[in-house]
Amino acid sequence: MDYSFSLLLILGFVAVVLLIEGLFVYWNDTRSPEVRRVAQRLRAISAEGQTEGAAKLFKERVLSNTPALQRVLLMLPRVHHLDRLLMQAGSASTVSHLLAASSMLVLVGLVAGLVLHWPIVMIFLVVVLLALLPWFRLAWLRSKRLHKIEAQLPDAMGLIARALRAGHAFPSALSMLGAEGQEPIAGEFKITSDEISYGIAVDTALNNLATRVPSPDVRYFVMAVIIQRETGGNLAELLDKLAELVRERFKLFAKVRVLAAEGKLSAWILTGLPFCVAGAVQILNPKYLSVLFTDAVGISLVIGALIMMVIGIFAMWRIIDIRI
């Protein structure tokens, strides 16, 4: 019997088991849902930058896991606004991850353009588009999350109103919403409840909520509560009326969005069609469009067409951007 082969199999099996165990431990310590929830709670205050009158009771939000890169990023202007954008999008990534993703896509586009011998103008356009892809995705995630919070807000205000009628205090009602509500709105109100529990003023905690969730409906809720605390009145009845107003506004916005869907589709088609056609022609016959990027008149035509497209995109965006 070949003992060496058997020993090799045993060692290989042990190595695979240890590898799987190590990956599981790493995931459980860094990427598990519990760790993400704790991390989001701990870094919320740092992303707001508006906490007053209370000690630093929350862990500072890091911009990078590397200390040297963290110091470099802190020297960049308005970097905390970018960090707040990540928070509003509900992303677990850091600023360094976002910048690294953009840099890698830029490098991929540059190498692909040089290997395929694309014109300089086309390489520049592809590199810019690839660099902006993570930012577009982040903006889409932020918009999707804010839209979901706005849809959940009327039910959340109704729950707070019912808790107030049952005799609970306003901070207790916020805590109940954070424990019993649905994500993502439950997490935001849980952060507000924790801030109040740790001694931050109610008005400041509500203003922090409006900063984390830049939605008009959330600002209406915050202003209504702050004004009621100053002037008095039935807060439960006020929240019920505000919830009904937000529901009707949301319904009207949905109707308008359906009516404007055709215009949005036309805008997307008119914007993307020239680039798709140019890309297909460039792939099928690279020499066909080369005159546009080598001749002076062709370059002028490309620049003029891009300027006119930007003006048209801006005009279409203003037409279909109906605010309620």
Q: Is the pLDDT of residue 132 over 70?
A: yes
Q: Residue 301 to residues 282, 295, 305: CA-CA distances in angstroms?
A: 17, 10, 6
Mean pLDDT lowest among 85-99, 217-231, 304-318: 85-99
Q: Is the pLDDT of residue 291 over 80?
A: no
Q: What percentage of residues in the chain have a pLDDT greater than 70?
A: 74
Number of C-beta neighbours around residue 300 at 10 A: 11
Place of tokens 């370059």: 299
Concatenated DSSP letters of 46-61: HHH----SS---SPPP
Q: Give dist(CA 137, CA 129) in Å, integer.
A: 12
Q: What is the pLDDT of residue 314?
A: 82
Number of C-beta neighbours around residue 141 at 10 A: 16
Q: What is the pLDDT of residue 313?
A: 80
With cut-offs at 50, 70 and 90, classify the pLDDT of residue 203.
confident
Q: What is the pLDDT of residue 49?
A: 46
Q: Give dist(CA 198, CA 234) in Å, integer.
A: 26
- Encode pLDDT of 30-84 as tens digits: 666 666 666 665 555 444 444 444 434 444 555 655 666 667 666 666 767 777 7
- One-letter amino acid identity for 167? G
At residue 188, φ and ψ (nearest 5 deg) are: -65, -45
Could you tell me the pTM of the whole model? 0.61
- Encode pLDDT of 177-191 as tens digits: 888 878 888 888 888
Q: Is the pLDDT of residue 25 over 70?
A: no
- Secondary structure (3-state) at 175: helix
Q: Is the pLDDT of residue 210 over 80?
A: yes
Q: Is the pLDDT of residue 118 over 60?
A: yes
Kindly list the domain boundaries of the chain, sorted by start residue. 32-256, 260-324
Q: Is the pLDDT of residue 241 over 70?
A: yes
Q: Is the pLDDT of residue 258 over 60?
A: yes
Average pLDDT in the chain:
77
Q: What is the pLDDT of residue 11?
A: 57
